[in-house]
Amino acid sequence: MLTEYIGMEEVLPGVWRVGVPLKGNPLKELNSYVVLGKAKGTKNLLIDTGFRTRACKEALLWGLSRLGVRMEETDILLTHLHADHCGNGPDLVKEGNRIFIGRTDGEIMVGAGEWKAESFGDAKRGRGVETIHGRKRERLREHGICPGLIEEMRKRAPSRTMAPCPDFADYTFLDEGDVLIAGQYRLRAIDAPGHTPGQMCFELEGTGAMILGDHVLFDITPNITDWPQVRDSLGNYLDSLTKLDGYDVKIPLPGHRKPGDYHGRIRQLKDHHKMRLEECRQAVKRLGKAGLYEIGGSMTWNIRVSGWDEFPPAQRWFALGECLAHLDHLKEMGQIEEHREGGVIWYEA
Ligand SMILES: [Zn+2]
């Protein structure tokens, strides 16, 4: 039964937030946004869509129906490739309408450009996100993580189990500076790589409002992980924070939870990663010759379990990825060194 627990509010005239519950997920809820087009004779624009589950789809459609939004008159915009944002896109889009996504994340999803399966040395792994996962698993193996644990983590990863229909490839790619017109608004695309290789934020020109995806979240910290083909995703993320700090944003519209003080939060996020980098560097120094699993296990994590080995597999996947992103950045800054012995990678400060 769909009830009033789905939060909805008008965040700007003709722009609504529709809360899509993410059951059992620590993120709790996705903020979908919809720009109503009718009054200005344009299509509606639905921004982000929830996991590809019946519960998410029904909640979103219920919210849209309350606003009189029909998918026949609605284009879809995806801020990035994560399943909680793009999962329902292909199932919701109607003929003659489009799904927009930033070029890089779009190419990853369909396995195009430099993200073709062939460029990872194995075309059989499947395309798009599956290919990325294949390469990520390989990287974890190179870091000495045991295959049983990798397989367990793979099976439970939401990016795989609730991802958009893999056969859909008809996305329209956006580049920096592209403008979408919906209702009375012009949404200008801004590259903000880091959280994913090609996440985009969207400035609603002249309003002080910014669709942030997961680039800036206010009461949780966006997950930053390593990505194949990306040398330093944390470095990219920090650069994107600096870039986005240059916009005069009065109405931040995050992909999860509540908004807050935009510029203050950017400062906090930078400080947070500075501290995490130092924690990571100290762990490498203290452990001497240490591998990823040990380093990850000796960092602090905000999760209610008794120890590293008790982490649920999906959370451990995120934690190891986050640790690796910090190691990549430290390596890039010349603060630690990576070594390889018997095919296994270890670090030294
Ligand atoms: Zn995300």
CA 200 to chain centre: 10
> What is the phi/psi pair of residue 250, to 5°?
-105, -25
CATH number for the domain harbouring residue 249: 3.60.15.10
Instruction: Establish if 139 belongs to a structural domain.
Output: no
What is the whole-number distance in angstroms between the Cα of residue 230 and the centre of ligand 1? 17
* Domain total of the chain: 1
Beta bridge partners of 30: 20
> Minimal CA–CA distance to 20: which of 260, 314, 258, 256?
256
What is the whole-number distance in angstroms between the Cα of residue 79 and the centre of ligand 1? 9
pLDDT of residue 125: 45
Beta bridge partners of 211: 202, 253
Instruction: Establish if 136 belongs to a structural domain.
Output: no
> What is the phi/psi pair of residue 303, to 5°?
-150, 140
What is the whole-number distance in angstroms between the Cα of residue 40 and the centre of ligand 1? 31
In 10 A of CB 319, how many CB atoms? 19
What is the whole-number distance in angstroms between the Cα of residue 45 and the centre of ligand 1? 20
What is the whole-number distance in angstroms between the Cα of residue 255 and the centre of ligand 1? 8
Question: Average pLDDT of each block of 10 consecutive residues along the chain (349 residues)?
Answer: 69 97 89 92 96 95 96 98 96 98 94 75 58 84 90 75 86 98 97 97 98 97 92 98 98 97 98 97 94 93 82 85 97 96 93
Instruction: Establish if 138 belongs to a structural domain.
Output: no
Is there a contact between 232 and 138 (Cβ–Cβ < 8 Å)? no
Instruction: Establish if 103 belongs to a structural domain.
Output: yes
What is the whole-number distance in angstroms between the Cα of residue 216 and the centre of ligand 1? 10
pLDDT of residue 159: 66
Is there a contact between 42 and 181 (Cβ–Cβ < 8 Å)? yes
Instruction: Establish if 296 belongs to a structural domain.
Output: no
Instruction: Establish if 135 belongs to a structural domain.
Output: no
pLDDT of residue 100: 98
Instruction: Establish if 207 belongs to a structural domain.
Output: yes
pLDDT of residue 127: 61
> What is the phi/psi pair of residue 326, to 5°?
-70, -40
Domain of 18, in residue numbers:
8-113+163-268
In 10 A of CB 323, how many CB atoms? 24
Q: What is the 3-state composition of the chain as percent helix, strand, coil, each rounded to the nearest 5?
A: 40, 20, 40
* CA dist., res. 41 & res. 38, Å (int): 5
Question: DSSP E strands: which ranges in 8-98?
Answer: 8-12, 15-21, 29-35, 44-47, 74-78
> Minimal CA–CA distance to 80: which of 193, 236, 183?
193
Instruction: Establish if 144 belongs to a structural domain.
Output: no
Residue count of the chain: 349
Give 251's contacts (C-beta < 8 A, 6+ positions apart). 11, 12, 207, 208, 209, 210, 259
pLDDT of residue 315: 82
What is the whole-number distance in angstroms between the Cα of residue 195 and the centre of ligand 1? 7
**Coil, strand, or helix at residue 78?**
strand
What is the whole-number distance in angstroms between the Cα of residue 222 and the centre of ligand 1? 7
pLDDT of residue 1: 42
What is the whole-number distance in angstroms between the Cα of residue 159 and the centre of ligand 1? 10
One-letter amino acid of 60: L
